[in-house]
């Protein structure tokens, strides 16, 4: 049992942090007049809007992802397809606040789109702030995610199926109805549920593009209750409400999620027979071109605005460098902590499966590590605010809390990246390592680190990049003295200093992608 202690400590840390935050919320709940809050018209409107915008965002993102993923699957011979997939993947690692700046630069009142519309003599569009802007930003982030999740489904169709389809002379419509749609129908509930959950707990997008109380979500209302109204009672009520909603959504989603094929099935490859028609080719290229433009424009706007902005002024500002250094330190502390927690849980799972023959317990341990996603960062932050405010200066304690919460939020990514390969490695080498007496650091250095070097680099780089660009808990605890780069960018945008914000946005995205690439290359080696 002594080899289970690292995983047990990781579980204890997860349970203690989450239980401590939630316990603080629950302990504050009896002093709240729940009936009065439940009758609050503003709170009811916030809850309804939270569900409504998440539902619309999920429907748009998933619905548009289906034809785009099908077009990419049909055109495997498209020149530059691999680079296009990399471009489509960029929104997955670009900080939310940076992407929001790019969206404002393209679709805002003085953005590229309105300049083009004015050139044509049409009236300018001024509806970015509110539901429309939130939907644009959520589709920007989640359409590429849904495409990447759905695209592997077409690899699951055996070559023999396409050969039979060609022999039967089936057209594109019949192929869609009889082959593609049955596969998609299994995966769509899980993909749509994931997108809905991400939009339901969205913070930075709604905070910057909501435009006022009429377009606030539960997370933004929690932030406003603590930072502007200093109403802990309302914040606790909203945090508990969001926690229960997330738990309910995850529970319902598990009933509809089915396993998605993730690798090519056996059988010789065979080209599908509906690729030569000019109509289908034109439609596919149009869809691929549309998503390329949709993703590339905000990123290009960030680059162009940043280069044209006052670079020297920003780089000569001591506040910028202190925020950048603080963001880097937080990321370099949070990412290894997330990796250590996730690695300990995976090691515990492997030993429960093989050495102790308890696969059910192992699955439970791995699931418990992923359940942290049910508790949004803003809920954890609110719990810590209530728990610590009577005893310490919560704003001074902000950076350590940000490190801890960012690390916990990174654990599900570590489990997702390393989990399948770690299980395969354990099944092959666990007993051999035991027979050779390889334990502890020796086994880690000689076996595990060598076999899992590339996914280790990917997981560590991803956690660091996500932590660098996070505008979650730091929005609650951040001040001028402990601000991070994303918070500084938000403050510049809120004060309409868009020229400086443009430079900071460009530098933040360079920093985010740079730390991801550096860590992945340093730890994982060359591809």
- Overall domain count for the chain: 1
Share of the chain above pLDDT 70, in %: 79
DSSP string, 451-510: HTHHHHHHHHHHHHHHHHT--SHHHHH--TTT--HHHHHHHHHHTT-HHHHHHHHHHHHH
Question: Is 415 inside any structural domain?
Answer: yes
The encoded tokens of residue 477 equal 């605890």
Instruction: Note the pLDDT tens digit of each residue in 491-516.
Output: 888 888 888 988 999 999 889 888 88
The domain of 493 spans 1-31+309-527
Instruction: Note the pLDDT tens digit of each residue in 168-177.
Output: 767 767 777 7
Q: Do 334 and 407 contact (CB within 8 A), yes or no?
A: yes
pLDDT at residue 326, rounded to an integer? 92
Burial class (CB in 10 A: 0-12, 13-18, 19+), 1: exposed
Q: How confident is the model at residue 246 (pLDDT cuts 50, 70, 90)?
A: confident
Q: How big is the CA angle at 488 (ends 484 and 494), to the nearest 5 degrees?
A: 145
Question: Is 201 inside any structural domain?
Answer: no
Q: How confident is the model at residue 335 (pLDDT cuts 50, 70, 90)?
A: very high
CATH number at residue 416: 1.10.3720.10
Read off the pTM.
Answer: 0.77
Question: 453: Cβ–Cβ under 8 A, 6 or more apart, which residues?
Answer: 523, 524, 525
Instruction: Taking residues 211-220, report their average pLDDT.
Output: 80
DSSP 76: T
Instruction: Give the lowest-confidence range in 141-150, 181-190, 244-253, 443-452.
Output: 443-452
Question: Is 472 inside any structural domain?
Answer: yes
The encoded tokens of residue 464 equal 């660091």
Question: Is 52 inside any structural domain?
Answer: no
Instruction: Note the pLDDT tens digit of each residue in 72-108.
Output: 888 777 787 777 877 777 787 788 888 888 999 899 8
Question: Is 473 inside any structural domain?
Answer: yes
Q: Do 241 and 47 contact (CB within 8 A), yes or no?
A: yes
Instruction: Give the lowest-confidence range in 73-82, 361-370, 517-526.
Output: 361-370
Instruction: Note the pLDDT tens digit of each residue in 424-479.
Output: 666 655 655 655 555 555 565 555 666 677 778 878 888 898 888 888 788 878 77
Taking the C-alpha atoms of residue 237 and residue 382, their distance in angstroms, rounded to an integer, is 11
Question: Is 140 inside any structural domain?
Answer: no
Question: Is 424 inside any structural domain?
Answer: yes
Question: Is 137 inside any structural domain?
Answer: no
Q: Give the chain's count of helices (H) and strands (E).
A: 26, 0
Instruction: Taking residues 63-67, report their average pLDDT.
Output: 91
């Amino acid at each position: 049992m002594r080899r289970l202690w690292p995983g047990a400590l990781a579980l204890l840390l997860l349970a203690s942090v989450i239980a401590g935050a939630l316990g603080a919320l629950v302990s504050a709940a009896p002093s709240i007049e729940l009936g009065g809050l439940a009758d609050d018209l503003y709170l009811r409107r916030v809850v309804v809007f939270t569900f409504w915008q998440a539902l619309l965002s999920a429907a748009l993102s998933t619905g548009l992802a289906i034809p785009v993923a099908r077009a990419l699957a049909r055109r495997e011979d498209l020149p530059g397809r691999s680079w296009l997939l990399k471009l489509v993947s960029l929104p997955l690692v670009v900080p939310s606040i940076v992407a929001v700046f790019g969206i404002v630069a393209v679709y805002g009142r003085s953005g590229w789109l309105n300049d083009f519309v004015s050139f044509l003599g049409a009236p300018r569009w001024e509806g970015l702030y509110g539901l429309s802007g939130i939907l644009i930003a959520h589709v920007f982030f989640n359409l590429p995610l849904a495409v990447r999740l759905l695209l592997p489904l077409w690899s699951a169709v055996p070559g023999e199926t396409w050969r039979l389809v060609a022999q039967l002379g089936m057209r594109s419509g019949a192929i869609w109805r009889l082959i593609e749609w049955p596969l998609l129908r299994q995966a769509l509930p899980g993909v749509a549920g994931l997108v809905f959950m991400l939009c339901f707990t969205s913070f930075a997008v709604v905070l910057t593009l909501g435009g006022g109380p009429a377009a606030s979500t539960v997370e933004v209302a929690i932030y406003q209750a603590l930072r502007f109204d200093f109403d802990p009672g309302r914040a606790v009520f909203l945090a508990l409400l969001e926690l229960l909603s997330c738990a309910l959504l995850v529970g319902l989603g598990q009933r509809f999620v089915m396993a998605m094929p993730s690798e090519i099935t056996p059988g010789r490859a065979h080209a599908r027979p509906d690729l030569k028609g000019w109509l289908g080719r034109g439609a596919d290229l149009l869809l691929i071109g549309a998503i390329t433009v949709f993703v590339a424009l905000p990123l290009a706007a960030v680059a162009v605005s940043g280069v044209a902005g006052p670079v020297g002024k920003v780089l000569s500002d001591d506040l910028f460098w202190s925020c950048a250094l603080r963001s880097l330190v937080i990321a370099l502390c949070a990412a290894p902590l997330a990796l250590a927690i996730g690695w300990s849980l995976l090691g515990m799972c492997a030993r429960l499966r093989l050495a102790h023959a308890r696969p059910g317990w192992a699955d439970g341990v791995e699931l418990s590590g992923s359940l942290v996603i049910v508790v949004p960062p803003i809920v954890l932050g609110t719990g810590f605010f209530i728990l610590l405010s009577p005893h310490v200066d919560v704003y001074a304690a902000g950076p350590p809390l940000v490190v801890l919460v960012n690390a916990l939020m990174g654990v599900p990514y570590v489990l997702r990246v390393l989990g399948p390969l770690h299980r395969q490695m354990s099944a092959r080498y666990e007993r051999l390592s035991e027979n050779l007496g390889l334990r502890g650091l020796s086994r880690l250095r000689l076996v595990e680190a060598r076999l899992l070097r590339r996914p280790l680099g990917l997981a560590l780089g991803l956690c660091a990049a996500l932590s660098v660009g996070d505008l979650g808990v730091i929005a609650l605890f951040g001040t001028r003295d402990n601000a991070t780069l994303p918070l500084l960018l938000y403050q510049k945008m809120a004060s309409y200093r868009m020229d400086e914000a443009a430079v900071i946005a460009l530098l933040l995205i360079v920093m985010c992608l740079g730390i991801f690439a550096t860590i992945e290359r340093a730890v994982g080696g060359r591809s």
